[in-house]
Amino acid sequence: MKFKKSLIENFIGYYFYKKLKIFRNSKKNEHLGEFGEDIFIRRFFKDKKKGFYVDIGCYHPVKGSLTYYLFKEGWNGLNVDLSKVSIDLFKISRPDDKNISAAITDFDGETEYYERGKINQQNSLTFDDNNKKIKIKGYKLNTLLSELKILNIDYLNIDVEGNEFKVLSSFDFKKFKPKLISIEQNIYNSERLFNEECHKMLITNGYFLASKIGVTCIYIDSKFEQSISSIMSI
């Protein structure tokens, strides 16, 4: 009970802090993403009132969230994170979403991750001898989407600390065709970026790199390429 109470207090305290901070900013440019990526994402979807997001490595329902403003517009979605504590926060704040503590990788079955903290963006499947090893159920992204009977995705976000290609490798681009995909890529050299496996896979499957904001690469389905000029003009 003490743990649950502290969890709720942690969320509510942060929620009202953000509310106050957001109120002071102009609505047009308010953002929760570290680099303002969610401004671009909201402009692309043009205040679309209903939609479905899939957030792999969701971390927190408000802090740093690229889906929070979509949620506030009436969207719902699937939130997945290694941390059970993170998912407990999502269950409190987004009870109508599908909130799953699991690893998304390129196979189905039990796996392990390395915990840097109960709620930590850097929890990872990548070997780290300095951190606690935790067993967790692993899924291919296609497997989890099928089990949850998800049929349509408007927006896919992937932030999994270096394991992004494994997530993309387990995703059926023909069955699901998100209009927009954002993916963390800690690369600042364009030549290196264009030779990355994730970039090449997305280009091969009909996406183009619309923007790189901080460490986040934003890819858009080529059918919507004309939307970029309207985003930039806002």
Please state the domain extents for the chain.
Answer: 26-106+139-232
> Domain 26-106+139-232, CATH 3.40.50.150 — does that match?
yes
The count of residues in the chain is: 234
Give the per-residue pLDDT at 126.
53
Pairwise CA distance, residues 211 & 37, whole Å:
9
pLDDT digits (tens, 9 = 90+) for 51-85: 999 999 999 999 999 999 999 999 999 999 998 88
Least confident of 88-92, 133-137, 164-168: 133-137
State percent of the chain over pLDDT 70.
77
pLDDT at 134 over 50: yes
Q: Which range, 70-79, 188-197, 219-228, is most confident?
A: 70-79
* pTM of the full structure: 0.82
Token pair, residue 7, equals 């969890």
Cβ contacts of 161-165, under 8 Å, gap ≥ 24: 161/57, 161/121, 161/122, 161/123, 161/124, 161/125, 161/126, 162/124, 162/126, 163/105, 163/124, 163/125, 163/126, 164/198, 165/197, 165/198, 165/201
Say which residues have a Cβ less than 8 Å from residue 154's Cβ, sequence separation at least 6. 45, 48, 51, 52, 53, 75, 178, 179, 180
Give the per-residue pLDDT at 186.
82
